[in-house]
Amino acid sequence: MKNCNNKIGDEGAQSLSSALANCINLSKLKLYLHDNQIGNEGASGLGSALANCINLSNLTLDLCDNQIGDEGASGLFSALANCINLSNLTLNLYNNKIGDEGAQSLSSALANCINLSNLTLDLRNNQIGDEGASGLGSALANRINLSNLKLYLSENQIGDEGASGLGSGLANCINLSNLTLNLYDNQIGNEGASGLCSALANCINLSNLRLDLRFNEIGDEGASGLGSALANCINLSNLTLYLSQNSMNGSQKFKVISKCRKSKRLVVFNYY
């Protein structure tokens, strides 16, 4: 269902929610509501409705460019905890007002989605910091069936602690084969970059990795650790790495490239 750019607001979202609440046998749902001036009340209403859709296996929910904060996000995400049959989930909440509390609510919900195999989370341009990022990592840690993950967290407030916490969680995703991780324009330094990539080396089935760390605070030390860690991802065959607009010097960039190319199974390597 598409209802975009129509300014339906909270009242319209609530009306839609009332109808959805009766669709208890739904197994697949795509709901596009971006740029509609939906706030906390409307998002919470949608959550209440989705909580009744316990048979959902495939859900796409696009609420980008709205006005959803932590309260609305918590109401929305709490419903997902009831959707234990979800195997494919796409949540697009780009450009809202979600902070650590909202991200933690999402983490709690994902902890119950034990059957997820394909997950896309777009939380770009929100207000998520270290606590929220670490919480997401903890939630992902137990998703042993997860094979495809796209996580977009650019333009937030994530530092070293959050990046390392996120990595620690991902390290337990032992069946992950395809990972896109976008952390563009945060506050990640040497420790966070090294910790994140060292953790990824534990994802022994990872074959395709797209990692965007542009516009952070990574220096020579962090870049060196990052390169060494990625070289230990023994089954990587495709790697795309974005590291521009950090604090490392030119020679260090070449060292990173050299280390990554030592990965024995690497077939395709792109560096930007």
Domains of the chain, first to last: 9-271 (3.80.10.10)
Phi-psi region of 57 (alpha: psi -120 to 50; beta: other; left: phi over 0): alpha
| Rounded Cα–Cα distance for residues 205 and 178 (Å) | 9
Q: Above 70 in pLDDT, residue 246?
A: yes
pLDDT of residue 4: 55
Query: Which residues are within 8 A (CB) of 237 and not within 5 positions of it... i.e. 6 or more apart?
Result: 207, 208, 265, 266, 267, 268
Mean pLDDT, range 9-38, rounded to an integer: 87
Q: Token pair for residue 231?
A: 């070289």
Collapsed DSSP state (helix, strand, coil) of residue 136: helix
Out of 214-218, 241-245, 248-252, least confident range: 248-252
What is the sign of the dihedral through the CA atoms of 122, 1, 117 and 79? Answer: positive
| Rounded Cα–Cα distance for residues 166 and 107 (Å) | 11
| Rounded Cα–Cα distance for residues 216 and 214 (Å) | 6
pLDDT of residue 266: 85
Q: What is the largest CA-CA distance in the chain?
A: 61
| Rounded Cα–Cα distance for residues 165 and 138 (Å) | 8
Out of 55-59, 82-86, 151-155, least confident range: 82-86
pLDDT of residue 3: 52
Q: Above 60 in pLDDT, residue 5?
A: no
| Rounded Cα–Cα distance for residues 254 and 248 (Å) | 10
Q: Token pair for residue 254?
A: 């070449």
pLDDT of residue 2: 56
Q: Above 90 in pLDDT, residue 265?
A: no
Out of 63-72, 167-176, 226-235, least confident range: 226-235
pLDDT of residue 1: 56
pLDDT of residue 210: 97
Q: Mind listing the pLDDT tens digit for each residue in 80-122?
A: 888 889 999 999 999 999 999 999 999 999 988 999 999 999 9
Q: Above 80 in pLDDT, residue 264?
A: no
| Confidence band, pLDDT 50/70/90 cuts, at residue 17 | confident
| Confidence band, pLDDT 50/70/90 cuts, at residue 11 | confident
pLDDT of residue 66: 96
Give the pTM. Answer: 0.94
Proportion of the chain above pLDDT 70, given as a percent: 97
pLDDT of residue 110: 92
User: What residue has token string 């089935």?
Assistant: 205
Give all strands (DSSP E) within 118-263, no chain letters.
118-122, 148-152, 178-182, 208-212, 238-242
Q: Mind listing the pLDDT tens digit for each residue in 184-198?
A: 999 999 999 999 988
Query: Which residues are within 8 A (CB) of 74 and not within 5 positions of it... i.e. 6 or more apart?
Result: 44, 101, 102, 105
**Contact, 125 vs 154, CB < 8 A?**
yes
**Contact, 263 vs 200, CB < 8 A?**
no
pLDDT of residue 144: 86
What is the sign of the dihedral through the CA atoms of 170, 171, 174 and 180? Answer: positive
